[in-house]
Structure 1
Amino acid sequence: MFSRLARPAVFGAVAALVGFGAPLRAFAEPVTLADALSRAQTQSPIVTAAQASVTAAEGRARQAGLMPNPEAGLQAENFAGSGPYGGFGSTETTLTVSQRLELGGKRRTRAAAADAEVDAARISFAMAKADLSQEVTVRYAEAQASEDRLVLARETAQRAEGLSSVAATLVESGREPPLRALRAEAASREAAAAVIAAEAEALAARRALVSLWGEANVAVELTDVAPAERKTTLVDPGETLDVRLARAEKATAQAVIDRERAAGRPDLTVQAGVRRFEQTGDSAVTVGFTAPIPVLNRNQGNVAAARADATAAEAKERLALVRSVRTINDAEASLRAADAKLAVLDGKIVPQAQTAVDLSRKGFEAGKFSLLEVLDAQTALTAARTDLIAARLDRAKALAALERAAAQ
């Protein structure tokens, strides 16, 4: 049987759970979606790493355009031998300077490949920022949804507490059997437990959000009460960042083929120097050149590998285009579905469910409806509002996907 002593403890626990988030919010830092996006773009390690990759590619491009350094040499001959060559009197000392001349367009093709890699790195940097913005937007929307579910859980717990109190009063007056009060008490306990779960979910969602700009234990309060209305723009699937990156990688692969072909052509090293003859004190100029004979190694293996990489890059470009078309179409379909669902839920289903709860609650207090009818009405209202929260989240995700596709 329902205990009078147990009711105050149950109701007190529910009240404590309903107000549990107030002290936490008092110390939380208010954050809008714009604040979250700005912090992520300026503080996220992801952006820092992507920017460093661009800087590294630019450094390699500068290095690729440099000529080989000249080389100095010193050579001594005809000493420490036998006969007239036993000392240093017949020594011949030669001082040379040599320069390797890169032939076949090596420096030009090397610089072109490095420049192509810089272009790809810059697009990758833009992609990293766009991906981060999308994730921040989605995480913010998920945190908002978790906050809405927490509010709903607290309101449900309050309604369940009030219903349990009314049921207990009706049982004491003999208008309801004791089983009704036990059922109402169980529903109140379930609602109280749901508040705990919703509080944990909301806290985890906020932590997931702040982690995107490199923090872990910062308490934030979401100040955007509803997802911002954002205009959708027409997106060309062939100009998304994913397709542009695949295109840049294909251009890089083609440039690497030219670089490896040029690397297989022999270079010419010219040498000039002065030779001194210790025996006579005379000196003479020396001139020479060397060049490898491309018989065994013509860099053919690297050329074949570069061609294979180019084939793969072409395939990846086609795949990126297909995926961009699919992503845009899916996002647009999801947006239309979410808008339609929101219109029905917000315009009809939720208001009707709220009216049903109010009517059934009044009827139960007047003895016209049973407890089960009230519980069914409250369950339907909770389900409708949960669907409304999910539809808003789906809409926010679809908009974020379209913004990501349109990012440049």
Structure 2
Amino acid sequence: MSCALISSFSYSANTQQALTLQTAIERTLQQNPQLHQFEFASQRLASERETSDLKPAYQLGVELENFAGTGEVSSFDSAELTVALSSVIELGDKRQSRVALANARMNTLELERQAQTLDVLGELTGSFIQLMSTQQELKLAAEAVELSKSLHNTVKNRAHSGAISDAEVMRAKAMLTQSNIQQENLRRRLERQKIALARFWGSTKIEFSSVEGDLFAFGQSQAFSDLYTAVQQSPAIMVFASEQRLKDAEVRLAQTQNRADLGWQFGIRRFEETGDSALTLGFSMPLFNESRNSGTVKSALAERNALEYRRSDRLLALHSRLYSAYSQREQFIAAHQQLKQSVIPDLEKALTITRQAYDRGRLKYQDWITAQQELLNAKQQMIETATVALLNQAVIEQLTAQPLTE
């Protein structure tokens, strides 16, 4: 499971304080409170299976007749005391059907556990990616602060020489302050995201300084048809097959009730009047069991038949979600590559040319500001496209329960 969700990231074992996605996944699998609930549910179902495998209980009965009446039976002289042992003989493989139903419930729970694990690890991966994205934004914010400082110093020097007015100095100072504010906001957001990440393994403390991974590593994707084939075998869909077996077991158990159980009673009766004893033997069986049980059987059959339509609807929804994630991943990777290879290099050159022209007095202050902001916006967009691409990749791996890239 962990391989399916960490294949897109690279790690280094040298940094002790940085948290890798693999470590986060291991901690989550070991300590996540939501996943540990399945252990108790499994114990409960195992106990129910033991109960289902029990044979019908024996009953000991004592019956006293013909005493404390009137006339000849006014005393205990004519009393009849019967001590009997009784039970039921189950017919129609009821016990085997109960055990089969308990086993089907345990199998369904295991697939639900796997599906829930994928959901939790998918959320964990999304939080991890968002944290990596914020770290990249912090680096960009630091770059923006340095650019603002450089601009502020240049503008102050020119103002001292009388080349420009003090108004531009105030504007440059305000921009520097705004850059510092943005940097501090990102630091605060980073701390909140760390807390949100730590909750996945049940912790309220931040025990890592940063997360380690490559936000800009995407890899080569598989074909969509192969991914959809994997989705059809994923726990999210296989749980319906398990539920189908569960419903079949419920139908069989309901059908076993058509055949009535045979009750028996064996005992000994003592006659106080004569001092004699005699054995007693009795049998009983409910009548018209099949007609009385027909409603239960029909209800179980209806639930089983409805399950196939639920599975088809779920599969259609997963197909739509998978295609949306697959398409968006390809779209944002393409946009990221264009920004990296074309847009940002052009804007970096434009900023250098603009600054040189400003120093020679050929361009205005606003031209430098515009060129600088365009470059920062493009780098911010590159971070955002990479983040969205990886978030969609995490969704795909969650749905398919396998790595998207080799």
Q: TM exceeds 0.5?
A: yes
CA contact (8 A) 1:243 1:324 kept: no
Q: Which residue of 2 aligns with 1:9?
A: none
CA contact (8 A) 2:268 2:278 kept: yes
How far the C-alpha of 1:231 sits from its partner, in A, is 6.7
CA distance in 2, matches of 1:296, 1:62: 28
In the superposition, the TM-score normalised over structure 1's length comes to 0.86
Q: Which residue of 2 aligns with 1:142?
A: 130
| DSSP-derived class of the 1:298 partner | helix
Q: Which residue of 2 aligns with 1:355?
A: 349
How far the C-alpha of 1:163 sits from its partner, in A, is 1.1
In the superposition, the TM-score normalised over structure 2's length comes to 0.87
Q: Which whole-Å deviations, capped at 9, do the CAs of 1:302-358 have from their partners, x for residues lacking one? A: 333323322331211101221232233223222322321222122222232233333
Q: Which residue of 2 aligns with 1:20?
A: none
Q: Counterparts of 1:148-297 in structure 2 under 5 Å?
A: 148-227=136-215, 232=221, 234-235=226-227, 236=229, 237-294=231-288
| DSSP-derived class of the 1:98 partner | strand
CA contact (8 A) 1:266 1:292 kept: yes
Q: Which whole-Å deviations, capped at 9, do the CAs of 1:100-156 have from their partners, x for residues lacking one? A: 122233223222222221111110011111111211111101100011112211221
Instruction: Report the AA paired with residue 346 of structure 1.
Output: K
CA contact (8 A) 1:164 1:188 kept: yes
Q: Which residue of 2 aligns with 1:118?
A: 106
Instruction: Report the AA paired with residue 286 of structure 1.
Output: T
CA distance in 2, matches of 1:210, 1:275: 72
CA distance in 1, matches of 2:137, 2:190: 8
CA distance in 1, matches of 2:348, 2:51: 70
1:45 to 2:36 alignment: no
1:33 to 2:21 alignment: yes
CA distance in 2, matches of 1:108, 1:285: 33
CA distance in 2, matches of 1:107, 1:217: 51
Instruction: Report the AA paired with residue 387 of structure 1.
Output: Q
Instruction: Report the AA paired with residue 149 of structure 1.
Output: E
CA distance in 2, matches of 1:276, 1:190: 103
CA contact (8 A) 1:30 1:221 kept: yes
How far the C-alpha of 1:181 sits from its partner, in A, is 1.8
CA distance in 1, matches of 2:221, 2:46: 35
Instruction: Report the AA paired with residue 258 of structure 1.
Output: R
Instruction: Report the AA paired with residue 309 of structure 1.
Output: E
CA distance in 1, matches of 2:390, 2:39: 28
Q: Which whole-Å deviations, capped at 9, do the CAs of 1:358-384 have from their partners, x for residues lacking one? A: 332343334333221111112111111
Alignment: residue pair count: 381
CA contact (8 A) 1:270 1:288 kept: yes
Q: Which residue of 1 aligns with 2:11?
A: none
| DSSP-derived class of the 2:292 partner | coil
Q: Which residue of 1 aligns with 2:317?
A: 323
| DSSP-derived class of the 2:78 partner | coil
Structure 1: 5+ residue runs without aligned partners? 1-27
> Comparing both chains, which one has the higher relative contact order based on Cα–Cα distances under 8 Å and sequence gaps of 6 or more?
2
Alignment match of 2:307 (pick from 313, 330, 339): 313
CA distance in 1, matches of 2:336, 2:255: 60
CA distance in 1, matches of 2:289, 2:242: 35
CA distance in 2, matches of 1:128, 1:226: 27
Alignment match of 2:384 (pick from 390, 402, 408): 390
Find runs of 4+ consecutive structure 1 residues off by over 6 angstroms. none
CA distance in 2, matches of 1:68, 1:295: 19
How far the C-alpha of 1:39 sits from its partner, in A, is 0.5
How far the C-alpha of 1:296 sits from its partner, in A, is 10
CA distance in 2, matches of 1:164, 1:404: 48
